[in-house]
Each structure stands twice: as structure tokens, then as C-alpha cells.
Structure 1
């Protein structure tokens, strides 16, 4: 096959990044769109030694997994909900199979016990955070989502996985930009002022944080916005200006100016209170997060005398839930802002049997083992890249009785489980997948490993 060649292809698989996969002569072809059982015409755009990349030009035969009803005006273009036109029950089956295939191919794990994916009763309006790029011109401001695998902004009237209040906020921002003559950001030449808007919404809808990401450190005058918020009774309790002048795909910098209200919103898990700041990581699906964390706690089955290490602990959400049950908890996280928040959250909740340590997990876990009691249980919740080999080796050296691994990437999960299981020290008890990102191909998993 050659560049620009048009091929007919049956889609047989999907990646956790949203690509559709088919094979010709046992060589994988990764396509920009499509679902399992689609038959497509695709154009080869990249030739590699062991695979090809192609763009779908036409769907010749639609998969019986698809729903004919369109529920979103931009679902064929937006890069967010890759499988929105598949019925929700079939989405969950596809995600479970995706986990199974990754464990088999990458982890060489035979017949793992994988529960059915825990889905939502209503898989819409679930996101508590949205990040929207701003572009266009001062006379024609564009706020929306990026077209799939591009940085072309697609405006929308409504996004069915976001809170409807965002539609009002977008209109208000457009009017504000017109009133205050704020120039939209131009990514091509790095000019303009407003480059993104970000909202974070508390679960009870009583608090909204609005973050205005600017290409300048000049403080914005938001008098117009404050008047609109009061006039329309919007629950915006925090407005932050985030200054990001770098030519980068990273949306938020660490440089924040408080323009209005508090510099945080408050969220609750169980009976614990958490302050969420502009740069704080907090799961975007509150309903599913609670289910997932409860399963992790169930797997950990903590005794009152247990010492627990929470690796990649973020702002301490899981750590503090663990601390309510354990003798002592140590949390390790590389992001200083997150550790600062974690310590504040511990103080807010009067939890003293926890210590938070800032640094790379691969470095700090070794130092911690030397100075503290070895862990009875280790909880892992790494980023998509998974764990460093040195982290896994260190875990194996201390051999806790249980490992609870929370993963957002089945590929790196399979890779890491292979290392832990090949040691001969652990057995894989079971895996519980959770659908936190409905209508996308992303899937979270909670895994229980027990010492042999």
C-alpha cells in the first residue's frame, strides 16, 4: 500500500485513544474514525514498517452497533465523543472487550476476571469541567471544541455531556469580549488576548469557577461580567485569570490572578470537604467517581492497624478516604500545588493520620520506606503513562499484602500488571471497569492484586 491509496476496510477494533482499526494481510490500519463492524473507504496518509494510518472518506456499510438517531449537532466532527452514535449498552460492551484485549495482548494475562463496566443510568450532562478554545475575530468570536485531530474550532449550541449553564456562560463571554474589545487568540501567530475559557462546577451546582486564560499578564477588567452575573443570578462564585503566554497545547499555566470571589470551589466526597483550585485535578464525572472510589476502598478492605501508601495522590481525595479507615496514610505526588491542596484538605477535615510528600514517586517511595513503616496496602492512581519500572520494582521489594491499581489507560495498565504478575508474588483477583467518560473510548479500571 502507498500514500494516498484508497482502500476498502472492515473495522474490527478500536483503540482507547479513539482510533478505528482494521487489517489487510494481517497489517493493522489505524483510521481517524469508524466503529466496529463499519465497512469504510479510507485513504492511506502514513506508511510505517508495521502499520498504516488512514483517513476515512466514506462509510460504505454502517455497523449494526450504530444508532440512526443523531443526538448532537457536531458529533461527526468533534473529537470528544468518538462513539456517541453507538447505543450506550454497546459502548459498555466495547469498552469491556477493549480492556480484555489489552490485558491479553500486552500483559499476556489469560482469562482475567473482568466485571461488566459500571455505567451511568443517564450518560448525559455528567461533566463538571469544560475547556473551550477561543478564536475567530473580534467581530466573529468562535468558542467551541476542536474538530477531531485538528485545532479548527467548531462552535456549538449545546453539548449534551456538559452542564447547560455553560451555554449561558459562552453567550456572556462573547458579549463581554465585544463590549470590552477583547481580541480572540490567534494560534497561528500567537496574537490576541483570550485563548481559552474553563469552567468548574460543583456537584450541587451552587458554585461555578470561571477561568479566563489569557495571552497577556495585563489584568482584565471584568466589571461587565460581574454585572451580568448578578443580573442573571448565575452561581459564578469565582473568576480567575490564568496567564499563559507560551506557544503550547497545555491550557493552564500555574500563574493565576483572582478577579472575583474565592480562588476555589468546594466539593464533598462522603463527609469530606475538598477545596478545588484552578489547577487542581478532580474527576470530571462526580457520580462515577464516587462509585469508583468506593470500589477501591472495598478492594483495599483496610484494617485499623494498616499503613497505606497512596502513590500519585493528587489533592488527597483517595488518601483522606483511606485515612478514615487506616492507622496511617502516606501520599506522594510530584505536583507541588496538589500537595499544598492535599495538606489543606487534611487540615479542613481534621485528619491527622496522613502525611503528604512532594516529589517523583520513583524517588520518594524509596526514601519513605527507609524512614517509615513498610506499607500493608499500596494504592496506585498514576497518569495515563502508568508507573515507572522503578516504582513497580520498589513495590515488589516491600511486597504489601494488597495492591489496588486505579488506571485510566488499559494499555499501560496491562504493561504494569505484567511486571507485577511476572514476579510471581501476586495474583490478579479481579478488575472493575468504570465509565467516567461516556461516549468516548476512555475507560477507568480498578484492579485488585493480592500477595501469594
Structure 2
């Protein structure tokens, strides 16, 4: 039997008017034509827009706005299309209040659709007083365009560099430093990497800045170790930017989307910058995982600690501990803390950071939590509070079951992906842990990403 191909209601390059009825989880507007959804950048529910269809798939398509016949009161008129095209600030066309509501709704929808917990009322998103220039880290490609050395960002879904000097959400001092660095590199005729030809040397410039100390680290990611004029380049950068305390080189010959290799060279100064978080001191290396929004991180951690309602008799497990920031932040308030992490370098950093803060009641373990938990139980160590802060993919089910075996009173779950959070708390519910509070925190203003902290409480004993 011949399968009849269903004719779609739109065609590529067609122009038509649609009403925006919803958002995707990435913040694209959704318009429907005879039930067929079009995903549209720079569009807000309630708007009527003339669009051009860009791409047509079996289930949905993409379109771009040509004009508006009805605009949303949530619209910001002064929109930089470059920030949307590159994905730097895809939500900056809407007011900040609307962004916060969008993020709340994303978490609420996941609670209802995925966790099947419609009774959970997600709290309003905690926003920033100043939702711009918050990023304490930049990693920008550097390329030669029209014989000029340029830094910028790739156009979405491409490797076409769009030259940018004001990145809008990065710390202004980082933006200023990038201009200085670019000019010094141009003066010394540094050869930028050419991805298509696989020639040249300098691929990426990474900058880390201590929000509270203003110390700065620069990392040059290069194809080859040989870096002509590098001593003079370092000297001139440090003269122009006295806040720079570390200049590193990362030698990365592979043609890959992975930003850094394991091959680091210290070019000038030390191998870390120092910063503060909730009154504690941290050494942050080039490879360290450190939250990119220092102001909101303090709010996030304060909320997590508040939900845990800590006592000085508590034993805390800090799973996915990274360089130890959560465990170190609360160690003064409890009997003991055990941090667990699979990345060896992160554990080394965590131990250094604990020593910096003169903490003797915190111990770090290298390995998977689902392996470490049973070992600790065997030694008679049972945590009554577990903190988890996993990557976007969420928790492995093996981890969830091993954490329940420890029988903690409370689990505090910090999440950067509401979909995997919802999936995981549904499993915890089956295993005897009820969701008590869900608090979104806007760690990434002007983008669609949302962080949240959730309290799970044991509903039955063993």
C-alpha cells in the first residue's frame, strides 16, 4: 500500500500572519497554522505577527518575524538582533518581569506534566536587581575577518563568527579586557585559528574574574604549544590590566567542540584566581566548575541552606560537590560534611578550599556517590541531610536509590534543568520522599535557562 504523504499547511519562504499563543521551553514564540506549530524568535504570546517560514519539518517548523500588527505590553522595544541571533541573550526582547514569569511557568509545567504533581505550587522566581553584566566568565572564539582580528560569538547553529565588543550579560570589566587583549594580539600579528582550513594557532580566549576580588585570569586556547611573542604579549596585557594575576595557555590540537584539553601551561603569575562566596574564600582554576553568577549564587545557596534548616548535630552529604562551594558554605553550621565528586581535579581544588577556610569537619571523596554512599554506611556514617547539584542530565536512578538507602530526613536538590528535576522527584516520591517546596532562582537573566532549589522530605521511616 502506498503511503499518502500528508500535505503541510505551510511552505518554506511563505509569508503569513499568525497569533503567538505560547512559548517553547527555549523561549521561542509558538504560532499555529491549522494546528501546525511554528517556532518564532523574538515573539511573545498575545502578539500578532507577519512571519516568513524558514524551515518546515513533519511536526513543526521555524519562522522569523517580518512585522507586528499587535505587540505585547511585555515587549522591550530596544532589541539588539545580534544578541538573539547568537543566543547570547535570547529573551532580552521581553521585560525582566515577563522573563521571571516565563521561568516560573517552565518549572510549574514540568511539575505538572513530568512529575505528575499538579498540587505543587512553584514559588515566584527570585530575580536580580540588575539583570545585566553578571557573568564572571567568558569564553570567546577569536578569528581573522577582513584581515582584522575579531572576538565575538557564533551565529546560532553555525560557526560563523559575529564580531561583538559588548556582550551585554558579561561583567563589563571582562568586555573591556577582551578589547585590550585583542589589540595586543593584533599588534603582535598573532595568527588566529581558521577552522575550515585547520590552520593558525589561537582558537579561544577565556577570562575568569573574581566578582568580589576583581582578580582576573586569562586562558589562551591554542592549537600548538609554540606561541610567538608570548612573553611580550603577557607583559603588555599585565601593564594594561593590573588586575590580571594569572595568564595560562591550554594546548588543544584536536578539532573538537570540547573547549579545553588537559594540557595547561602557566605563562605568567599563578594558576588560580581568588574569590569570596558567603564569607568563604575559594581558589578557582581554569578547569574549576564555579557558578557564573556570583550574586545569585549567594541567594541560591542561602535558600538551599534555609530549606535544610540545619542543626549543629547534622551530618551532610554534598553530592556532585565540584570544588566544594556548597559544603564549605554550610560546614560551620553542622557536625560534619562529606563531599563527593567524580572529577579528580575538582576534589583537589575542594581540599585546598577547605584548608583555606580552616575547616576540619569536611572530608572529600573521589568517586561516584552510588559507590561512596554504601562505603560510608558500612563505616557507620549516615547523613541525615543530602544536598545534590547535578548537571543538566539530572540524577542517575542508581544514585537516587543509593541516596534513599542512606535514609536521610531531607534532600535538597539544586537543579539547572526543570525537566530532569521533575523526572527525578517523581522517582523520589515512589521511594518515600515528598516534594515540600520548589523555588526557581534566575541565575541566567536574558536567557531561557532556569535554576531551582527543591526540598524533599522523608515521609516514612525504614
Q: TM-score, normalised by structure 2?
A: 0.90
Q: What is the SS of the residue equivalent to 2:326? A: helix
Aligned to 1:431: 438
How much does 1:136 deviate? 2.4
Question: How many residues are aligned here?
Answer: 448
Aligned to 1:117: 125
Mark the CA change 1:307 to 1:3 in structure 2 (over 3 Å): closer, same or farther. farther
Aligned to 2:98: 90
Contact 2:42–2:65, Cα closer than 8 Å, also in 1: no
Contact 1:138–1:183, Cα closer than 8 Å, also in 2: no
Matched, 1:43 2:50: no
User: In the alignment, which of 96, 111, 124 is matched to residue 103 of structure 1?
Assistant: 111
Structure with larger Rg: 2
Contact 1:44–1:53, Cα closer than 8 Å, also in 2: yes
Aligned to 2:453: 446
Aligned to 1:246: 254
How much does 1:17 deviate? 3.5
CA distance in 2, matches of 1:22, 1:365: 48
Contact 2:435–2:457, Cα closer than 8 Å, also in 1: yes
Mark the CA change 1:338 to 1:230 in structure 2 (over 3 Å): closer, same or farther. closer
CA distance in 1, matches of 2:366, 2:42: 40
CA distance in 2, matches of 1:416, 1:394: 13
Mark the CA change 1:59 to 1:388 in structure 2 (over 3 Å): closer, same or farther. farther
Which moved further from structure 2: 343-352 or 379-388? 343-352
How much does 1:28 deviate? 4.8
Mark the CA change 1:39 to 1:338 in structure 2 (over 3 Å): closer, same or farther. farther
Mark the CA change 1:205 to 1:376 in structure 2 (over 3 Å): closer, same or farther. closer
How much does 1:53 deviate? 3.7
Matched, 1:149 2:157: yes
CA distance in 2, matches of 1:46, 1:362: 44
How much does 1:383 deviate? 0.4
Contact 1:220–1:241, Cα closer than 8 Å, also in 2: no
Aligned to 1:164: 172
Runs of 5+ unmatched residues, structure 2? 1-7
Q: TM-score, normalised by structure 1?
A: 0.92
CA distance in 1, matches of 2:60, 2:377: 46
How much does 1:288 deviate? 0.6
Mark the CA change 1:329 to 1:76 in structure 2 (over 3 Å): closer, same or farther. closer
Q: What is the SS of the residue equivalent to 1:267? A: strand
Which moved further from structure 2: 170-179 or 274-283? 170-179
Aligned to 2:23: 14
Which moved further from structure 2: 324-333 or 176-185? 176-185
CA distance in 2, matches of 1:269, 1:326: 18
User: In the alignment, which of 375, 385, 392 is matched to residue 377 of structure 1?
Assistant: 385
Contact 2:152–2:165, Cα closer than 8 Å, also in 1: no
Aligned to 2:4: none
User: Over residues 57-92 of structure 1, what are the superposed CA-to-partner deviations in whole Å (9 max), with x where a residue is unaligned?
Assistant: 53544433211123x473342211111011111111
Q: What is the SS of the residue equivalent to 1:440? A: coil
Which moved further from structure 2: 219-228 or 309-318? 219-228
Contact 1:362–1:388, Cα closer than 8 Å, also in 2: no
Q: What is the SS of the residue equivalent to 1:74? A: helix
User: In the alignment, which of 410, 417, 427 is matched to residue 419 of structure 1?
Assistant: 427
User: In the alignment, which of 391, 394, 404 is matched to residue 386 of structure 1?
Assistant: 394
Aligned to 2:330: 322
How much does 1:42 deviate? 4.8
Which moved further from structure 2: 180-189 or 253-262? 180-189
How much does 1:211 deviate? 0.9
CA distance in 2, matches of 1:44, 1:143: 28
User: Over residues 410-447 of structure 1, what are the superposed CA-to-partner deviations in whole Å (9 max), with x where a residue is unaligned?
Assistant: 11111111111233x12211111111111111111010
Mark the CA change 1:321 to 1:164 in structure 2 (over 3 Å): closer, same or farther. closer
CA distance in 1, matches of 2:233, 2:367: 39
Q: In angstroms, what is the RMSD of aligned CA positions?
A: 2.3
Q: How does 1:299-314 map to 2 (within 5 A)?
A: 299-314=307-322
Which moved further from structure 2: 327-336 or 390-399? 390-399
Contact 1:113–1:429, Cα closer than 8 Å, also in 2: no
User: Over residues 13-65 of structure 1, what are the superposed CA-to-partner deviations in whole Å (9 max), with x where a residue is unaligned?
Assistant: 334444444445555544455333344425263534xx324242535444332
Contact 2:44–2:72, Cα closer than 8 Å, also in 1: yes
CA distance in 1, matches of 2:361, 2:444: 33
